[in-house]
Chain A
Amino acid sequence: METAKLLKQLTEARGPSGYEAEIREIVREQFGRYADETRVDTLGNVIALKRGDGPEPRPTVMLAGHMDEIGLMVKQIEKGFLHITTVGGFDPRVLLGQQVIVHGRQELPGVIVSVPPHFTDPADREKTVPLDKMFVDVGLPPERVEALVRVGDLITVHSDYLELSGGWAAGKAMDDRTAVAAIAICLEELTRVKHQWDVCAVATVQEEVGHFGAITSAYDLKPTVGIAIDVTFGHQPGLPESETVKMGKGPSIAFGPNIHPQVFDSLVTAAKDMELPHQIEPVPGRTGTDAWDIQVSRSGVPTGLLGIPLRYMHTAVETVVLQDVERTGRLLAGFIARLDDDFFDALTWKPRSRKGSEGEEVA
């Protein structure tokens, strides 16, 4: 599997939260190459099942990487210019001058604009332009715009996959299509490696607007263990070391209240056994990922989280190291291959009854 080619295909596809149809097709086809079956659920998650070879009933490990990307939406049309609102968390400062595609009756190329500096008050030039003073201009006369665009139409950022030197790459939607790629890499690896547990690989929807796909798919699948994969903050100047991870040093394995200690230990053990570069990322509370909601699904799910280091999150030039993506996929496969009865036992406490003292099992 050629990582660069896969990542290019995934990141260039369009799929803002709630409207993931285009990326969904691609992901379903990709996962389908290595899984026993695939389906799409009510909210649009892609669920791929790869059965293990252990005796039934088999425990399930759910993998979750989100396929939606942040985007924009038309909220009003005025004299041919489009007023916009965000779908997910865009920093307005990265938007000015950005090339976009408006998904109206046709796909219309456009650009995000505001009053040019030449016509702006000098005092205002010191301030950032707020979102409600930005517009999308598609360069068409107002009547054409009225005929082709409606309130509620989606707008995606137009940014091609860009190869940087040294095996780095930049583009839009690396958050979180790199995880989708890693999951595909993992599934492919698992066609060559034995694994006892069933694997449910889920490309979730609407993570950027509330983890909605993870909430509903976890409820549906009732997994024994859930592993979320999402991008994490790669170190860049100005950011504290304690809140970032290194680029190119492998996936981060998160630790903290959102993470089940046994799942954490097993991920670290797998990484060490495989001599795979990895980093530990302590997170004292919300991880801001699908893991947060998977953990509290129904009666609770032991959860883990892998992070793919990424710079410039939520911009059109999100930057990653391809090797980090590959290592994440391989770590997932290695972790899954090692899931066995001992791990299952370590996860579950035995019920105790009154007559037994601590540690003893009494029938």
Chain B
Amino acid sequence: MKETIKKLVEAFGPSGYEGTVRDLIRQAVEEEGLANGKGDEVRIDALGNLVVLKKGTGGGRKVMLAGHMDEIGVVVTHVDEKGFLRFGRMGGIRPLTLLGGRVRFADGTIGVVGAEKLEDRSKVPGLDKLFIDVGAKDKEACPVRVGDVAGFFRPFEDLGDRLVAKAMDDRIGCAVILQALRELKTVAHDVYFVFTVQEEVGLRGATTSGYGVAPDLALSVDVTTTGDTPEAHTMAVSLGNGPAIKVKDGGMLAHPGVKNWLIETAEANEIPYQLEVLEGGTTDARAIQTSRAGVPAGCVSIPCRYVHTPSEMVDYSDVTNAVKLLVAALSAPIELE
């Protein structure tokens, strides 16, 4: 699975520009014949969500799994006379994590993030005091234009038990869902494996794909933060203690029936798990939950340190256990209390 993860996290894909990631996933689905059964479907909807349906044998539920393909990034707002770029944010990107770092544009152009002189070195400058330097001599020579987008540029590192990369949020979720698709035998349920777009800018892909699929149960697979680093914000999730079953986050309360179903599945299959209460941030599940007449929704979270930085860290056993949990949950009848 590490190969898949590496390919996915290193791909270019800020919100609205998920094409490369989508192609990688679709290619895997087609080359490995993952949706070749009767009634199976692979389609791309109006906003670019990739929807893979594995038709069930019948008598089960209509389940939607959602992981988002987009990563946070920046958009160029101005090319100045000297060829420096001013930019705005796409999703939750912060000055602190950009300074001195590198970004990459769709065509491969690399840029360095610099800052104006700081009046007060003790304060973090706002985005409007930063700029990107692609090494251009002047405006004419600059290969980048207003409207171009870029994401963090960092390679994937395998530390053994732990993996580090940019865009673990949420390529790790996509990897987990793709792996679940690989491992899931035919089951009673119709399972929609949905790789969504534009989550980081407002859960937009989940809103439209949720409406389109109209599931009767939904799970998002996304990262969550941890409380296990020095002087961290209090939080009960730690790396290596298993996938986290979401109770609540900044945008929603998981449906108690869905939460309990996941807990029971984990306990019955001896899969380690943790309970997650996240105070800031939310996932695609929030958008799907209020779709049409309502959908019972929850989330399987991958614990992740340093979220929204170029070096997000996950534990590999948490990742494989998340796959186990999903496969086990979907391989049995689903009764929600």
Direct contact, A vs B (beta carbon within 8 Å): yes
Residues of A within 8 A of B (CB): 17-19, 41-43, 73-78, 83, 85, 87, 132, 150-152, 206, 209-210, 212, 215-217, 219-220
* Any A CB within 8 A of the CB of B236: yes
Using Cβ atoms and an 8 Å threshold, which residues of chain A touch B290?
A: 210, 212, 215-216
Chain B: residues with Cβ within 8 Å of the partner, total of 26
- How far apart sit A41 and B289, CA to CA, in the bound complex (Å)? 13
A290 to chain B, nearest CB (A): 13
- A73/B248 in contact, CB under 8 A: yes
Q: Which of B61-69, B175-183, B189-197, B293-301 contacts A (4 or more CB under 8 A)?
A: B293-301
| Interface pair B252/A151, CB less than 8 Å apart | no
**A219-B292 CB under 8 A given contacts A75-B279, A76-B234, A152-B248:** yes
Question: 1/0 per position for B270-289, CB-CB distance to A under 8 A?
Answer: 00001111010000000001
| Closest Cβ–Cβ distance, residue B291 to chain A (whole Å) | 8
Cross-chain contact of B277 among A78, A152, A215 (Cβ < 8 A): A152
Q: Is the CB of B294 within 8 A of A87?
A: no
Q: Are B247 and A83 in contact, CB atoms less than 8 angstroms apart?
A: no
Whole-angstrom CA separation of A271 from B295 in the bound complex: 39
- CB-CB under 8 A from B255, the residues of chain A are 18, 43
**Residues B295 and A132 in contact, CB atoms below 8 Å apart:** no
| A–B Cβ pairs within 8 angstroms, 7 of them | A17-B253, A19-B256, A43-B296, A87-B253, A152-B259, A215-B294, A220-B294
Inter-chain contact B277/A42, CB cutoff 8 Å: no
Whether A85 touches B294, Cβ cut-off 8 Å, given contacts A18-B256, A73-B247, A76-B236, is no
Give chain A nearest CB distance to B322 CB in angstroms: 18
Does B227 interact with chain A (Cβ within 8 Å)?
Answer: yes
- Closest B residue by C-beta to A21: B256
**Contact yes or no, B294 A151, CB < 8 A:** no
Interface centre among B256, B259, B275, B290, by most chain A C-beta atoms within 10 angstroms, is B290
| Cβ-defined contact, A41 with B294, below 8 A | yes
- A75→B293 contact, CB < 8 A: no
Residue from B236, B255, B294 whose CB has the most chain A CB atoms within 10 Å: B294
* CB proximity of A324 to chain B, nearest CB, Å: 31
Q: Kindly state the separation between the CA atoms of A7 and B47 in the bound complex, as whole angstroms.
A: 48
Q: Residues of B contacting A212 with CB < 8 Å?
A: 252, 289-290, 294
Q: Is the beta-carbon distance between B293 and A85 smaller than 8 angstroms?
A: no
Nearest 4 CB-CB pairings of A with B:
A18-B253, A152-B247, A216-B294, A220-B293
- Does B95 make an interface contact (CB < 8 A)? no
> A209 contacts which chain B residues (CB < 8 A)?
252-253
Find out whether the CB atom of A219 lies under 8 angstroms from the CB atom of B293.
yes
CA distance A43 to B259 in the complex (A): 14
- Known A-B contacts A150-B275, A151-B275, A152-B248; A75 and B292 likewise in contact (beta carbons under 8 Å): no
CA distance A151 to B238 in the complex (A): 13
Check B227–A76 contact: CB distance below 8 A: yes
Known: A76-B235, A152-B277. A42 touches B296 (CB 8 A): yes
- Contact check, B275 vs A152: say whether CB atoms are below 8 A apart: yes
**Pairwise interchain contact B253-A151, C-beta atoms closer than 8 A:** no
Residue of B nearest to A206 (CB): B253
Flag if A43 contacts B275 (CB, 8 Å): no
Query: What residue in chain B is nearest A216 (Cβ atoms)?
Result: B294
| Separation of A232 and B161 alpha carbons in the complex (Å) | 54
Chain B residues positioned under 8 Å from A73 (CB to CB): 247-248, 277
Q: B103 → chain A, closest Cβ, in Å? A: 34
Please, how many angstroms separate the alpha-carbon atoms of A132 and B231 in the complex? Answer: 13
Known: A73-B248, A78-B234, A87-B253. 7 other contacts (CB 8 A): A18-B253, A43-B296, A73-B247, A73-B277, A76-B234, A210-B252, A220-B292
Nearest residue (CB) in B for A19 is B256
Q: Is B101 an interface residue (CB 8 A)?
A: no
Complex partner residue of B251 from A42, A78, A83, A210, CB under 8 angstroms: A210
CB distance from A92 to the nearest CB of B (A): 13
Chain B residues closer than 8 Å to A78, beta-carbon distance: 234
Chain B residues positioned under 8 Å from A132 (CB to CB): 233-234
* B:204-221 near A, CB below 8 Å: none
B272 to chain A, nearest CB (A): 15
- B256 engages A216 (CB within 8 Å): no
- Distance between B306 CB and nearest chain A CB, rounded to angstroms: 20
A78 to B227: give the CA distance in the assembly, Å: 12
Q: What residue of chain B has the Cβ atom nearest to residue A76's Cβ? A: B236
Chain B contacts for A150, CB-based, 8 A: 275
Q: Please name the residue on chain B nearest to A78 by beta carbon.
A: B234
| In the complex, chain B residues whose CB is within 8 Å of the CB of A42 | 293-296
B277 to chain A, nearest CB (A): 4
Tell me which residues across on chain B come within 8 A of A152, comparing CB atoms.
247-248, 259, 275-277
Residues of A within 8 A of B275 (CB): 150-152
Nearest Cβ on chain B to A135's Cβ, whole angstroms: 10
Closest Cβ of chain B to A281, distance in Å, is 27
Interface residues of B in 229-253 (CB under 8 A from A): 233-236, 247-248, 251-253
Complex interface: chain B residues within 8 A of A41 (CB): 293-294
Contact B289 A151 (CB under 8 A): no
Chain A residue nearest to B296 (CB atoms) is: A42
Within 8 A of A (CB), among B84-134: none
Chain B contacts of A77 at CB under 8 A?
236
A210 vs B277: C-alpha distance when bound (angstroms): 17
Interface residues as binary, B258-276 with A (CB distance below 8 Å gives 1, 0 otherwise): 0100000000000000111
- Between B255, B289, B296, the greatest number of chain A beta carbons within 10 A of the residue's beta carbon is seen for B289
| Residues of A contacting B248 in the complex (Cβ-Cβ under 8 angstroms) | 18, 73, 85, 87, 152
Q: Which residues of A contact B293 (CB under 8 A)?
A: 41-42, 216-217, 219-220
Q: Which residue of B lies closest to A131 (CB)?
A: B279
Name the residue of chain B whose CB is nearest to the CB of A75: B277
Q: How far in angstroms is the closest Cβ of chain A from B284?
A: 15
- Distance in angstroms between the alpha carbons of A342 and B234 in the assembled complex: 59
Q: Please determine whether B251 and A151 come into contact, CB atoms closer than 8 angstroms.
A: no
Out of A43, A217, A219, A220, name the residue touching B289 (CB < 8 Å): A43
Q: What residues of chain A lie closer than 8 Å to B277, measured between beta carbons?
A: 73-76, 85, 151-152
With a CB–CB cut-off of 8 A, which chain B residues contact A17? 253
Query: How far in angstroms is the closest Cβ of chain B from A261?
Result: 28
B-side contacts of A220, CB under 8 Å? 292-294
